[in-house]
Amino acid sequence: MLFPKEMAEVELIVPTKDLVAVARVLSGNGVFHQVDSTYLGLENLGPNTWQEKAGNYSALERRIQSVMQSLGLPEEYPVKAEVGSMVDLDAVRPSLDRIEEEVKGVSDQLSSEKKRLELLESQLRQIEPIADVSVNVGVLSKSSFMHSILGVIPAANISRLKTSLLRIPHVFFTLRTDPQKSIVWLLGSKSNFDVLERAAKSAYLNPLSLPEEFDGTPEQITELLQKEIESTKQKISNLEANIAQLAGTHKTELQELLWEIHISRIMADAIVRFGQLRHTYVVVGWVPTAELENLTARLKQASREILIETMATSRSGHHTNVPVALSTNKWLKPIQMLVGTYGHPSYGELDPTLLMAFTFPILYGAMFGDIGQGLMLVLLGLLMHFKVILKAMQGLGLLIAYCGMSATIFGSLYGSFFGFEGHLIEEYIPFLDFIKPIWISPMENILSILSVAIDAGIVILIFGFLIGMFNSIRSKDWAHFLFGHSGVATFLFYICFLAMLGSFLGGTALAPKIAVAINNLPLPFTTLLLAFGFLVMFSGFFRNMVEGHTLIEGKGIGGFLMFVIQSLMDLLETVISMLSNTLSFIRVGAFAVAHGGLSLAIFSLAREEPGLRFWITIIIGNIFIIGFEGLIVGIQTMRLHYYEILGKFFHGGGMRFEPLKLTPSQEEA
Amino acid sequence: MASGVSGYAAISTRVRAMYSDLLTPQDMARLSDSPDFPFLISALKNTPYGKYLSGIKDNELTPRRAILQIKNRLAASFSSVVQQAPEQTRPLVKQMYRYFEVGNLKAVLRSIQTVSSWNPDISTWERVHEVLFPFGSFSTIPAQAMVESGSIASAVELLRGTPYETAVSFAMKRFSTEQNLFPLEVSLDLDYWRRLWAEVRQLKGKDREMGGKLVGSLLDLNNLMWVIRYKIYHKLSEEELINYTLPFGYRVRDEDVRSIAAGADIASVVSRIYPGIADVNVYLENPQSGLPKLEHQLKQQVMKQCVSAFIGDPFHIGLPLAYLVLSDFEIQDLIVLIEAKSSSLDDEDFRPLMLKTNIVQ
């Protein structure tokens, strides 16, 4: 739960005779993430025949799909299909050739008739707008003084075409307009022939082209076209009946062929990525450790001579090549979605989902503490989760419900119910006078709540530092453990920085108690601050030293000066970010106070008399607070996590676990 | 319909987080200092692009492959923004993303046109696939089938039912007589920008204002470069120039484009629109080297517009759009760097082409 699933690297040596059986097991279980191991093979074995086979299967699969498409058959696989052996291409081809030939003749004829129908209809549409013009169309092109273009143009180009012709006299008619294209008639003087032609061409005005057999007036041409259209439609209807008959005859055979070729293609694709030796194949991949035993047993059943070497991958060290399979829990799904928006954990790295499942609602609740409004959020979240309302946002339902629960708990700590607090409860809802602040009323203890918020931030940041260091230890990244941005040196510098903050704010009500407590420790914090400051300033240099890289990138005195200035800027940036990161959490307290303030504003709008107007204003005000402030608090919570918390220890960038899958149901899953 | 604060809560937070992950001018300067291509790649692995490069073996990481890999980051940004953008703005973001699909479509058509001059040992699709933007499941064009169809006419047939059907079908008549891809490409460009502008006009309030500013700025850049290039290189007539440009934008007005088309002095028109760009005259004296510089200056104007979108009210579509444009420009910079380092170009040959400098940050 805290870490991605433990993975084991599997290396198989497979005798050539068992190749297909092993490929079937690996592809059929959905647990094996294959790694391309062709580089392990021998180069002088000649061309890889599996490459060719995979290509042939793929081509055959496309042919079957194309035939099924022509017959209007959906690409369905048998419901409980067995994963059989790979199909012999030569055995399948004759059946496919036969069906294809049978279908092709009819479907080619059908598509050619459909094209003809489309052409005839388009010609009819083009001629319709000038149907009542009793002029022979051919005459237009033979005019001595006028140049005329009758044609189709993209509707969007008309205004531009008109603009482009402003400088010459012309007449422009739009005879018919569709959303996509229009039929237009452009007329101008023959002396402007060039301009008219260039303008028409560049506006993509395609002149109308009627076949020579349709000569005469538009009315005569329309009549001829309509007759042709009727006869073509009849032909199409007959051909479609033929296609339906062929579909019924070949449906089962085609579906079975498709399934067989499909699984053969997937297995061949997998085998292409095996490393070929003289008499054996090398297969490399990753399997979740929990599935390893089951897979091994199946592999041994498939091949008695198979050699299986498994290497459990410890979570330490760099594992950029290890695929990451995350545990899935439906209750944590919305939190996982928030983490996923930031990044996919890498192997060995702590999956922050569980941590965020606690911190997100807590920070939200602290900023939006109110029993009544919290319960409303719980209700809203549950209604969304169960798709009663806002179905499109179902994924956020549980998150809202969690935040609502936390807001309810903090509401009881603050003694707030739909904005009624303290004397307001006694005055307006005396039957609920048992609601009293269990802990603190933010409105009456503003500085204290701000100080507590900074303390909470300090705890979270220290926790972030510790997890960051823990991650570095696990990955044995000693350079970052010691001198990284969440490493030991930076952490100790932060502690000294807190001591200084405690000393600076010590006498004020705003002073964070943790910082003051650190400052009270009998340690020479000023000296330590300078010492750790030095380490932080030159952390890049020290990291390079630990990792054995070039210590300073630049050359000569110029390079050295640049390095010192850059280090100084790094230190400055670290100090500023520590200050802003710590003080950033003050918003948690500030929002708790703002929440009370906003409620007071609603009460002042409602006036004092508890009549109908008062209660309507309170209800509308609460709806506004839940909708508006609830959302703003959500943004702030997200911001705190993305900027201040996750950045301390979470890098992301992991490779997703994508196992070989065979059946469509697994692919969908 | 979610809008304003509620619609942009998650996306503006996410975009700000992604924005802070963009490379700084200092990062870019450090990368530019890399002595060669392998050094550049190892430096890039320490940036947010690292995760897109680390999965590939070093010997397979050719400059072309590296470019393809880093483009994956932009694809990821686009799909993240598309998923999180408020519903009413999604068509705009999706249309903006189609810019890369239009690029892919042009590349596919060019490959079909020029295939005969290629090495027959490598399949055409493999060659083309390497240069296509990794559009993933968003793609609507059957690129492989188009390449394998072997002719422009058959490839265009395969575009039926896609958003490009109308644009290419109108241009095909000209292609079949001229046997030149120019009309097809222009038609695709015009159609793309018209649709994008139409999506902006569908928006309301702040979304429309900011969308208009950013998309309009991009449109200005294109419109101006089109009219200048068509005039100088293609020597097109006034009516052709008008038909091959668009009458909308942010700062560039239709009158500006038309006056250039009618023969007005290009430098004075450009200087009037962008008083901040100096030496326009000098750029136009030698268009071969000057026009890329002018385009570079115009892109920096767009970048400034994008950076300014991050100041003030964040609850509008301007923020995600600006981030996406800046990401795209960042990748353009990295492509310049990868090509420069792999061809061992001198600093003075590629540094002036870099967009991300302190000036715009």
Which domains are assigned to chain A?
7-98+242-323 (no CATH), 138-209 (3.30.70.2750)
Q: Which amino acid is at B143?
A: A
Contacts with A627 from chain B: Cβ below 8 Å: 6
Contacts with B55 from chain A: Cβ below 8 Å: 320-321, 655
What is d(CA A300, CA A294) in angstroms, rounded to the nearest whole number? 10
Answer yes or no: do B171 and A204 touch at CB < 8 A: yes
Residue A327 pLDDT > 80: no
Answer yes or no: do A635 and B9 touch at CB < 8 A: yes
**How many beta-carbon pairs under 8 angstroms link A with B?**
88
Q: Is residue A218 within 8 Å of A131, Cβ to Cβ?
A: yes
What is d(CA A419, CA A443) in angstroms, rounded to the nearest whole number? 11
- DSSP annotation of A284 reads E
Contacts with B84 from chain A: Cβ below 8 Å: 341
Q: Which of A285-299, A448-462, B50-64 has the lowest mean pLDDT?
A: B50-64
Answer yes or no: do B237 and A198 touch at CB < 8 A: yes
Contacts with B12 from chain A: Cβ below 8 Å: 635
Q: Which of A97-106, A126-135, B296-305, B340-349 has the lowest mean pLDDT?
A: A126-135
Q: Is A79 on the interface with B (CB under 8 A)?
A: no
Nearest to A165 among B84, B239, B244 (CB): B239
Contacts with A181 from chain B: Cβ below 8 Å: 166, 170
Structure tokens belonging to residue A176: 């018919």
- Angle of CA points A64, A65, A69, to nearest 5°: 115
Count CB atoms within 10 A of the CB of residue A630: 25
Contacts with B315 from chain A: Cβ below 8 Å: none
Answer yes or no: do A634 and B240 touch at CB < 8 A: no
CA distance A321 to chain B (A): 7
Count CB atoms within 10 A of the CB of residue B179: 9
pLDDT at B298: 94
Phi, psi of A327 (to 5 degrees): -70, 140
pLDDT at B361: 44
Average pLDDT value for residue range A390-412: 90
Q: Is A663 helix (H, G, I), strand (E, B) or coil?
A: coil
pLDDT at A169: 92
Nearest-by-CA chain A residue for B167: A154
Contacts with A165 from chain B: Cβ below 8 Å: 239
What mean pLDDT is reported for chain A? Answer: 85
pLDDT at A445: 87
CA distance B278 to chain A (A): 31
pLDDT at B149: 87
% of chain A surpassing 90 pLDDT:
31
Model confidence band, residue A177 (pLDDT cutoffs 50, 70, 90): confident
Answer yes or no: do A163 and B240 touch at CB < 8 A: no
pLDDT at B359: 47
Mind listing the pLDDT tens digit for each residue in B191-211? 999 999 999 999 998 999 999
Nearest-by-CA chain B residue for A168: B239
Residue A119 pLDDT > 90: no
Q: Is residue A106 within 8 Å of A148, Cβ to Cβ?
A: no
Answer yes or no: do B243 and A195 touch at CB < 8 A: no
pLDDT at A210: 67
% of chain A surpassing 70 pLDDT:
92
What angle do the packed helices A353-367 and A397-414 form, to 10 degrees?
A: 50
What mean pLDDT is reported for chain B? Answer: 89
Phi, psi of A668 (to 5 degrees): -65, -40
Q: Is A95 on the interface with B (CB under 8 A)?
A: no
Nearest-by-CA chain B residue for A646: B17
Q: Is A111 left (phi over 0), alpha (psi -120 to 50) or beta?
A: alpha
Residue to test with chain A: of B90, B185, B192, B243, most A Cβ within 10 A: B243
Residue B360 pLDDT > 50: no
Q: Which of A16-20, A252-256, A309-313, B55-59 has the lowest mean pLDDT?
A: B55-59
Answer yes or no: do A320 and B243 touch at CB < 8 A: no
Q: Is residue B271 within 8 Å of A230, Cβ to Cβ?
A: no
- From residue A45, how far is each of A273, A277, A496, A648 by CA, in Å? 15, 8, 65, 51
List residues in chain B touching A: CB distance below 8 A: 5-6, 9-10, 12-14, 17, 33, 50-51, 54-55, 80, 84, 166-167, 170-171, 173-174, 183, 187, 190-191, 194, 236-240, 242-244, 246-247, 254, 258
Nearest to A642 among B13, B187, B244 (CB): B13
Model confidence band, residue A591 (pLDDT cutoffs 50, 70, 90): very high
Answer yes or no: do B6 and A631 touch at CB < 8 A: yes
**Quick check: pTM over 0.80?**
no
CA distance A202 to chain B (A): 5
Mind listing the pLDDT tens digit for each residue in A525-566? 999 999 999 999 988 888 888 877 777 766 677 778 888 888
- From residue A290, how far is each of A7, A147, A286, B174 by CA, in Å? 8, 81, 12, 63
- From residue B201, how far is each of B208, B244, B316 by CA, in Å? 7, 21, 15
pLDDT at B13: 82
Quickly list DSSP for A80-137: T-----PPPHHHHHHHHHHHHHHHHHHHHHHHHHHHHHHHHHHHHHHHGGGTT--S-H
What is d(CA A37, CA B210) in angstroms, rounded to the nearest whole number? 51
Answer yes or no: do A195 and B237 touch at CB < 8 A: yes
Average pLDDT value for residue range A418-445: 86
What is d(CA B128, CA B122) in angstroms, rounded to the nearest whole number? 10
Q: Is A613 on the interface with B (CB under 8 A)?
A: no
Considering only CA atoms, which of A522, A493, A463 is closest in space to residue A501? A493
Residue to test with chain A: of B14, B125, B239, most A Cβ within 10 A: B239
What is d(CA B242, CA A202) in angstroms, rounded to the nearest whole number? 9
Average pLDDT value for residue range A106-112: 91
Q: Which run of H or E residues covers position B118?
A: none
pLDDT at B1: 43
% of chain B surpassing 90 pLDDT:
57
pLDDT at B115: 67
pLDDT at B116: 53
Q: Which of A211-220, A357-366, A472-481, B317-326 has the lowest mean pLDDT?
A: A211-220
- Please, what is the end-to-end C-alpha distance for chain B in angstroms? 35
Query: Comparing B104 with A654, which gets the higher pLDDT?
Result: B104
Nearest to B170 among A154, A199, A553 (CB): A154
What is d(CA A145, CA A308) in angstroms, rounded to the nearest whole number? 89
Residue whose token pair is 């002018």 = B294
Residue A337 pLDDT > 90: no
Nearest-by-CA chain B residue for A62: B145
pLDDT at A127: 77
Contacts with B194 from chain A: Cβ below 8 Å: 156
Mind listing the pLDDT tens digit for each residue in B126-139? 788 888 998 877 78
Mind listing the pLDDT tens digit for each residue in A262-285? 888 888 888 888 888 888 899 999
Residue A665 pLDDT > 50: no
Contacts with B238 from chain A: Cβ below 8 Å: 164, 167
Contacts with A199 from chain B: Cβ below 8 Å: 239-240, 243
Answer yes or no: do B170 and A638 touch at CB < 8 A: no
Average pLDDT value for residue range B5-23: 82
Q: Is A436 on the interface with B (CB under 8 A)?
A: no
What is d(CA B194, CA B189) in angstroms, rounded to the nearest whole number? 9
Nearest-by-CA chain B residue for A152: B170
CA distance B9 to chain A (A): 6
Residue A491's contacts (CB-CB under 8 Å, 6 or more residues apart) are A462, A465, A466, A469
Nearest to B247 among A160, A342, A631 (CB): A160
pLDDT at A426: 83
Q: Is A342 on the interface with B (CB under 8 A)?
A: yes
Nearest to B239 among A198, A342, A652 (CB): A198
Q: Is A156 on the interface with B (CB under 8 A)?
A: yes
Contacts with A153 from chain B: Cβ below 8 Å: 170
What is d(CA A416, CA A367) in angstroms, rounded to the nearest whole number? 12
CA distance B194 to chain A (A): 8
Answer yes or no: do A199 and B239 touch at CB < 8 A: yes
Average pLDDT value for residue range B307-311: 89
pLDDT at A471: 83
pLDDT at A80: 57
pLDDT at A45: 58
Q: Which amino acid is at A276?
A: Q
Mind listing the pLDDT tens digit for each residue in A19-54? 888 988 888 888 899 888 776 665 555 556 788 888
pLDDT at A344: 80
Q: Is residue B194 within 8 Å of A160, Cβ to Cβ?
A: no
- DSSP annotation of A30 reads S
Answer yes or no: do B240 and A198 touch at CB < 8 A: yes
